[in-house]
Amino acid sequence: MPTASEKELKLLEKAAAEFAGKELVPNREENDKYPFGPFFDSVLDKAYELDFFHIVLPEEADGMGHGMRALCTILDCICQADSSLGGIIFTCTAAQEVLLAAGENKKLKQIASNAKKVADFLIAFPVFNNPNEIKPAAGAVKKNGKYLLSGNSEYTVLGDLAAQAVIPSKTDGQEGYSYFLIDLSDQGVQKSKPVHSLGLHACPAVDLELNDVPGDLIGKPGEGKQYFEKMTDRLNVAAAAMSAGIMKGSFKEAFEYSKMRSQGGKKIINWSEIKMILANMAVQIKIADMCVKSASQDADSRNPGWAAGSRAAAIHVQSAACDMTTDGIQVLGGVGYMKDFGQEKRFRDAKHLQALLGIAPLKKIKYIDSMIR
Amino acid sequence: MISKSEIKTLLDEEPRFNDITCSLQSVPKLPKALLKETRETVAIARKFNKEVVRPYALELDLKMHADPDYLPYDFVEKANDWGFYTMWLPRVFGGRGYSAPTMAPFSEELASACLGMANLVGVHYLGVSSLAATLNTRMIHKIFQDTVNGEKTGQPCLISTAITEPGAGTDVEEVELVDKADLSCYAEKVKGGYVVNGTKVFISSGHLSTWHILISYSDLGKPSENTVVLAIKTGMEGFSFGRIEKKMGQKGCPASELLFKDCFVPDENVCLDMHQMKFPRSKRAVATALLDDVLAASRAGVGAFGTGVARGAFEEAAAFASETEVEGKLLINHEWAQSMLAEMYKNVTLARGAYVETNYAIGLYGTTKDLLSKPMYYYSKFVPQFWIDKVIAPLLKKPFLTQMARKNRFKTISEKDQQLTSGMGSMAKFAGTDAGVKNCQMALEMMGQTGLRHDHRMEKLLRDSKLLQIYEGTNQLNRLNLFKCMVARNIPQAKVFEED
C-alpha cells in the first residue's frame, strides 16, 4: 500500500502545524460562529492549495497517494487547533474512500481534473450515519437505464459546500443499499439551511430532499455495505487521530492555564488535585498517540489484524477524548466554559466526533461480532 | 441484649446513625401538608414546562447563538406571571409562602426541560438566600417587597448574588481559602456608608436583576473577618454592567460582569457588616456559618438541576430508542440499549436521593429547622394577612428584631450540624451534576447523528449540563469540602487546604 516516508511525514506535520497555528488558531472563535457568522472560505481555499484533501487519493486520480499515517498526521495537527477543518477533510476523504472501495478511480480522477475551485473538488457525504444501522431514507429507481433518486438524505455533511455528494440509497428489488454520486446543483435537490449542531460548526451539514435526481451508481448495486465497511476499516484510525488532536489541544491549554492561574494563594498547578487531572490527561494522550501511530502503521502495511486495530483505536480514543475534554474545561473553571478559550469547543467537538461513522455503542458490538465470526 | 448506653455509643460510631438516616428521622416530624405542597409545586412545574419551556427553549437557545447579547426578558416575564419569583418568599414578607424543601423537586422538573430556565428561577433564590442569611429583617422586607410589587405590576424584580471575581472563584466559597484569594472588590468605610470599587464576574442573571447582593470586603488582607454584604440596586451611581459572557450553554440565563467604580452604598443598604454588630461567635465562625447556610441549600439545588438534566437526557434517549429502528428493530429492543437506559435511570434516582436526603438534613440540622416544625409551619400558612400587615411587618423594620434573629442563629451554631449539612450539600452537588453530564454523554452515544442536531434538543442538554460541574464551587472543591466535613472530622491528623 502507498505510504509516506518518514521525511515526507515530518514535512507534512510541519506544514499542517504551521497552517493550523497561522490560519486556524487566531480566528477559532469567529469561525465557530457559522452559520451565524461568515464561513472560513479563505481557510478552505488555502487548505485546498496545500493538498490537504488529496492525501490518500491515488496519484492516478491527481492525489498524493499517501496512506493513513500521513492522513492521521495532518488531522491530528489540524484538530489540535480547530477540528471543523478536520471534519471537512475527513468527510471528503470518506466519500473518496467509498469510491475507491468500489473501484471508481476514474470518477475520482474526473472530479479532480475538472475541479477549478475547492467546492468542485469536495464531495458531500452523510459521514455520521452508518446505513447498515439506520436505513437510508432515499430510494433509487431505474428509468431508461438511468437511476433517479428521491427521498431524503439527512445530515449530509458539506452538502451546502460541495459540488457533488455520495448518497446511500435503496434500489428497487435489491437487497441492501447502493451508493450514488449526485450533482448537488441538480434542480431536483433541495437543501435545508445548515443544521445547527453540537460541534464542528464550520463543517456544516444540511438535510437534502431529492426529487428524481439523476444518480451515478457507484460500483455494483446492493454493494453499499461492503464499500462502507471497507472505508470504515481504513478511516477509523483517522477518526481516532482527530480525537487525539483535540485531546492534545485541550491538554496544552489546561496545562498553560494552570501555570498562570492562582487560587487560594498558589498556582493551581501546585494543587495536587489539579496535578492528578493533568496527569490523567497526559497519560491518555500518550496512549492515544500510541494507538493512532500503531494502528495507522498497521493499516498502511496491511499487517494482520490492521482493520481491528483501526476500529479499536477509534472506539478507545474517541471515548477518552470525551472524558478528557470534560476535564480540560474543569481545569480552567468558569472561563473554560466560555467562548474566549478553546476548551468548550473541544468538549463539543470531541462528543460530536464520537458519532462519526455510526452509533458509538454499536461500534463495540460490531467489533466483538467480527471476533465471533 | 443491648443497653441504652451501648446503643448510643455504637450509633455514634462512623458512619453516625443520625447522619445516615436523615429522612427516617425527619419524616415523622414534618407537617403532613408538606407532601401536598410538594405535589402541587411539581405539578405546576410540569404545566409550566408544557406550556412555556418546551415550546420556547430551543428557539431561545438558537436566538442566543445568533445574538449572544440578547436578554431573555420574555422568559423572565413568563416566570414572573406564573408567580415563581415570590413563590418561596415567606408570607410575612409578602410572598406566597411555599416551603423551602418544595423548591428542589420543582427545580428538577424545570431542569429536565431547560437548565437555562431552571437557573433563571433558581438563581433568584440564591439571591434570596444570600440576603436572608444576613438576617437583616429590614432589608429582607424591603427587597422582598420590591419583588412582590414587581409581580403585581408585571415588572420582574429579580435578585442576584455577586461573589465571584476575575482573580478569585473557587477560593471565595471557602473560608479556609478566602484569605489567600486574589480579591479586588474593596468596600471602603466612609461616612454614611461604603464606597465600593472592583469587579464581579459570572453573575448569573446579573443584567436581568434589579437587586444584587454584593459580597465585598472592607479589608482585602483578611476578608474572612471583614466581609460586608451590600444591597446594590440597578441604576445606583458608580454601578454598571460590563460584558455578558459568551457561554457554551445555559444561554437563557446570562452571566454578567458587574462593575463598581467609586460606588457609594449608603448605610441603609448594608445588609451585614461584621464590624457594626456584636455577634455571639467569632467573625470567622459567623463567616463560615453564612457561607454554609447559603451553600448547603444552593448546592443541593444544583444537585437537583443535575438530577433534572440527567432525567431530561434519559427521557430524550428513551423516546429516540422507542421510535427509531436500528439494524431492523426498534433500538429500545436492543439489550445493550436497555442496559444503558437502566444505567441512566439509576443515575437519576441516585442523584435525586442525594439532594432529597440533603434537604432532610438541612430540615433537621440547618436553616429550615425551625420553619419546618409543625407549629411554625402551620402558623406561617394560616396567620391572617391583617395580622401580618398590622403587627409583623412594622416589627420587621426594627433593628432589635435583626439583633434577636442573629443572636438566636449564631449562638446556636453547632459545628457538628454545620459539617453535616455542608458536607451533604457538596455531596448532592457533585453527585447530581456528574450524573447530569454522564447521562447526557450516554444519551448522545445512543442517539448517533440525531443527537448532534440542535433541533433534537439533546446536544443542548449536554452543553447546559457542563456548567453545573463548575458553578456553586467546582466539583473538585466540593469533593474537598465533603472530605473536610464528613471524613477529616474523624481523622485528627488530616489537614485540608493546607497542602504545601
Write out pLDDT tens, residues A58-96.
998 889 999 999 999 999 999 999 999 999 999 999 999
The residue among B219, B238, B273 that closes a domain is B273
Chain A CB contacts of B454 below 8 Å: 195-198
Out of A128, A262, A337, whose CB is closest to B466? A337
The 3 state secondary structure assigned to chain B is CCCHHHHHHHHHCCCCHHHHCHHHHHHHHCCCHHHHHHHHHHHHHHHHHHHHHHHHHHHHHHHHHHCCCCCCHHHHHHHHHCCCCCCCCCHHHCCCCCCHHHHHHHHHHHHHHCHHHHHHHHHHHHHHHHHHHCCCHHHHHHHHHHHHHHHHHCCCCEEEEECCECCECHHHHCHHHHCCCCCCCEEEEECCEEEEEEEEEEEECHHHEEEEEEEEECCCCCHHHCEEEEEEECCCCCEEEEEECCECCCCCCCEEEEEEEEEEEEHHHEEEECCCCCCCCCHHHHHHHHHHHHHHHHHHHHHHHHHHHHHHHHHHHHHHHHHCEECCEEHHHCHHHHHHHHHHHHHHHHHHHHHHHHHHHHHHHCCCCCCCCHHHHHHHHHCCHHHHHHHHHHHHCCHHHHHHHHHHHHHCCCHHHHHHHHHHHHHHHHHHHHHHHHHHHHHHHHHHHHHHEHHHCHHHHHHHHHHHHCCCCCHHHHHHHHHHHHHHHHCCCCCCCCCC
The residue among B252, B273, B294 that closes a domain is B273
CA distance A169 to A224: 9
Out of A196, A277, A361, whose CB is closest to B65? A196
> Does B85 reside within a domain?
no
Query: Any chain B CB within 8 A of the CB of A362?
Result: yes
The CATH topology of domain A225-372 is Butyryl-CoA Dehydrogenase, subunit A; domain 3 (1.20.140)
CB A127 within 8 A of CB A231: no
CATH number at residue B419: 1.20.140.10
Give mean pLDDT, residues B392-412: 88
CA distance B427 to B484: 12
Query: Any chain B CB within 8 A of the CB of A225?
Result: no
Claim to verify: residue B173 and residue B306 sit in the same structural domain: no
Taking the CA atoms of residue A129, residue A131, residue A134 and residue A139 in that order, the dihedral angle to the nearest 10 degrees is 120
Domain total for chain B?
2
Give mean pLDDT, residues A231-242: 97
CB A254 within 8 A of CB A328: yes
> Does B49 reside within a domain?
no
CATH number at residue B203: 2.40.110.10
Residues 231-270 on A with a CB inside 8 Å of B are 262-266
CB B256 within 8 A of CB B239: no
Q: Cell 434570596 appears where? A: B128
Claim to verify: residue B239 and residue B330 sit in the same structural domain: no
CB A78 within 8 A of CB A24: yes
At residue A212, φ and ψ (nearest 5 deg) are 50, 50
Out of B171, B174, B326, whose CB is closest to A133? B326
At residue B271, φ and ψ (nearest 5 deg) are -80, -35
Quick: pLDDT tens for B52-97.
999 999 999 999 999 999 999 999 999 999 999 999 999 999 999 9
User: Is the Cβ pair B469, A330 closer than 8 Å?
Assistant: yes
Strands B209-217 and B227-233: antiparallel
* Residue B15 to chain A, least CA–CA distance (Å): 25
CA distance B98 to B6: 42
Query: Any chain B CB within 8 A of the CB of A373?
Result: no
Taking the CA atoms of residue A14, residue A20, residue A26 and residue A27 in that order, the dihedral angle to the nearest 10 degrees is 160
Query: Any chain B CB within 8 A of the CB of A367?
Result: no
Chain B CB contacts of A126 below 8 Å: 449
Distances (CA, A) of A266 to A271, B90, B166, B185: 8, 42, 15, 19
User: pTM for the complete prediction?
Assistant: 0.96
* DSSP letter, residue A196: P
Chain B CB contacts of A336 below 8 Å: 470
Out of B441, B470, B480, whose CB is closest to A322? B441
> Does B312 reside within a domain?
yes
Which of A307, A294, A128 lies closest to A230 in space, CA to CA? A307
pLDDT computed for residue A57 by the predictor: 93
CB A177 within 8 A of CB A135: yes
CA distance A88 to A100: 18
- CATH 2.40.110.10 at A124-222, yes or no: yes
CB B338 within 8 A of CB B483: no
> Does B27 reside within a domain?
no
Chain A CB contacts of B459 below 8 Å: 197-198, 348
Quick: pLDDT tens for A166-194.
999 999 888 899 999 999 999 999 999 99
User: Is the Cβ pair A347, B248 closer than 8 Å?
Assistant: yes
Query: Any chain B CB within 8 A of the CB of A152?
Result: no
CA distance B303 to B430: 7
Chain B CB contacts of A322 below 8 Å: 441
pLDDT computed for residue B367 by the predictor: 86
**Nearest Cα residue in chain B from A157:** B449
CA distance A153 to A168: 8
Q: Which of B63, B203, B452, B467 to mutate against chain A (most A CBs within 10 Å)?
A: B452
pLDDT computed for residue A336 by the predictor: 96
pLDDT computed for residue B175 by the predictor: 82
Residues 278-297 on A with a CB inside 8 Å of B are none
pLDDT at A98 over 60: yes
Chain A CB contacts of B177 below 8 Å: 263-265
* Residue B187 to chain A, least CA–CA distance (Å): 21
Q: CATH number of A6-118: 3.40.50.1820, 3.40.1390.10, 1.10.1740.10, 1.10.540.10?
A: 1.10.540.10
> Does B98 reside within a domain?
no
Claim to verify: residue B338 and residue B473 sit in the same structural domain: yes
Quick: pLDDT tens for B148-160.
999 999 999 999 9
Contacting residues for B108 by C-beta, under 8 A, at least 6 apart: B304, B305, B307, B308, B311, B352, B355
pLDDT at A373 over 90: no
* DSSP letter, residue A267: E
Query: Any chain B CB within 8 A of the CB of A133?
Result: yes
pLDDT at A2 over 60: no
Residues 32-71 on A with a CB inside 8 Å of B are 36
Quick: pLDDT tens for B201-258.
999 999 999 999 999 999 999 988 899 999 999 999 999 999 999 999 999 999 999 9
List beta partners, residue B214: B162, B230
Task: Name the strand (E) or helix (H) holding A210.
Answer: strand A205-218
At residue A104, φ and ψ (nearest 5 deg) are -95, 50
> Does B129 reside within a domain?
no
The complex's ipTM works out to 0.97
Chain B CB contacts of A361 below 8 Å: 336-337, 340, 445-446
* Residue A348 to chain B, least CA–CA distance (Å): 8
Q: Where are the domains of chain A?
A: 6-118, 124-222, 225-372
Residues 158-177 on A with a CB inside 8 Å of B are none
Chain A CB contacts of B66 below 8 Å: 36
pLDDT interval class at B369 (50, 70, 90): confident
And the C-alpha cell for A223?
454493494
Give mean pLDDT, residues B362-371: 89
CA distance B94 to B81: 16
Claim to verify: residue B315 and residue B266 sit in the same structural domain: no
> Does B452 reside within a domain?
yes
User: Is the Cβ pair B452, A365 closer than 8 Å?
Assistant: no
Helix, strand, or coil (residue A103): coil
Task: Name the strand (E) or helix (H) holding A190.
Answer: strand A189-191
Out of A197, A264, A322, whose CB is closest to B453? A197
* Residue A218 to chain B, least CA–CA distance (Å): 23
At residue B496, φ and ψ (nearest 5 deg) are -115, 140
Domain ranges, residue B288: 283-370+414-490
Query: Any chain B CB within 8 A of the CB of A126?
Result: yes
The residue among B273, B307, B322 that closes a domain is B273
Could you tell me how many CB contacts below 8 A there are between chain A and chain B?
A: 141
User: Is the Cβ pair A263, B471 closer than 8 Å?
Assistant: no
Claim to verify: residue B266 and residue B290 sit in the same structural domain: no
Count of helix runs (H) and strand runs (E) in chain A: 12, 9
CA distance B378 to B388: 14
Mean per-residue pLDDT of chain A: 95
CA distance B436 to B313: 8
Claim to verify: residue B222 and residue B321 sit in the same structural domain: no
User: Is the Cβ pair B246, A359 closer than 8 Å?
Assistant: no
> Does B459 reside within a domain?
yes
Chain B CB contacts of A358 below 8 Å: 448
pLDDT at B499 over 80: no
**Nearest Cα residue in chain A from B179:** A264
Which of B335, B358, B344 lies closest to B465 in space, CA to CA? B344
**Amino acid (one-letter) located at B31:** P
pLDDT computed for residue A3 by the predictor: 65
Chain B CB contacts of A129 below 8 Å: 448-449
pLDDT computed for residue A1 by the predictor: 54
Residues 204-223 on A with a CB inside 8 Å of B are none
CA distance B249 to B425: 24
Distances (CA, A) of B470 to A326, B309, B458: 11, 15, 20
Angle between helices A360-372 and B415-452 (to 10 degrees): 70
CB A171 within 8 A of CB A150: no
Claim to verify: residue B425 and residue B322 sit in the same structural domain: yes
Out of B65, B446, B455, whose CB is closest to A359? B446
User: Is the Cβ pair A359, B445 closer than 8 Å?
Assistant: yes
Which of B122, B177, B88, B104 lies closest to B428 in space, CA to CA? B104
CB B132 within 8 A of CB B144: no
How many CA atoms are closer than 13 Å to the CA of A21, on its beta-carbon side? 6
CA distance A356 to A232: 10
Q: Which of A198, A260, A268 to mutate against chain B (most B CBs within 10 Å)?
A: A198
Lowest mean pLDDT among A30-34, A156-160, A233-237, B221-225: B221-225
pLDDT computed for residue B282 by the predictor: 82
Which of B214, B90, B102 lies closest to B145 in space, CA to CA? B90
* Residue B7 to chain A, least CA–CA distance (Å): 39
* DSSP letter, residue A24: I
User: Is the Cβ pair A355, B170 closer than 8 Å?
Assistant: no
User: Is the Cβ pair B65, A36 closer than 8 Å?
Assistant: yes
Claim to verify: residue B257 and residue B330 sit in the same structural domain: no
Claim to verify: residue B238 and residue B297 sit in the same structural domain: no
Kindly state the greatest CA–CA separation across chain A.
Answer: 79
Claim to verify: residue B298 and residue B209 sit in the same structural domain: no
Chain A CB contacts of B447 below 8 Å: 359
